[in-house]
């Protein structure tokens, strides 16, 4: 089972762990919720070190989240270094259409 924000691509390697079959496990799930007051919009994004979803648009993801932004940075770096992107992201030719 995997719990994640439905607008984010889960990165199992960062969050997954193996459990043995035939065993019973109990897990505590502690969500992290971040909210920002709209009054901080007056502060420049560089100084507040965060952006609102309508202040930054991503090439590979429809919805801006901190995780999607980090995954896009990783994809952009991979594209620059290897001229490819992970299989689950659209290819460059698909982005241009």
Phi and psi dihedrals of 70, rounded to 5?
A: -65, -40
Give the pLDDT of residue 97.
47
pLDDT of residue 81: 93
- Give mean pLDDT, residues 61-68: 86
Quote the radius of gyration of the chain (alpha carbons, Å).
Answer: 17
pLDDT at 53 over 50: yes
- The structure's pTM equals 0.63
Has residue 85 got a pLDDT over 90?
no
Give one DSSP letter per residue of 23-90, joined into a string.
Answer: ---------------GGGGGS-HHHHT---TTT---SS-SS--HHHHHHHHHHHHHHHHHS---TTSP
Q: Is 3 left (phi over 0), alpha (psi -120 to 50) or beta?
A: beta
């Amino acid at each position: 089972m995997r719990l994640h924000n439905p607008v984010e691509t889960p990165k199992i390697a960062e969050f997954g762990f193996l459990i043995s079959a035939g065993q019973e496990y109990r897990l505590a799930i502690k969500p992290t919720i971040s909210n920002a007051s709209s009054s901080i919009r007056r502060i420049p994004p560089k100084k507040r070190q965060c952006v609102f979803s309508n202040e930054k648009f991503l090439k590979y993801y429809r919805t801006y989240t901190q995780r999607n932004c980090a995954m896009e940075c990783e994809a952009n770096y991979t594209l620059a270094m290897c001229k490819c992107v992970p299989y689950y992201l659209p290819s460059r030719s698909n982005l241009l259409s």
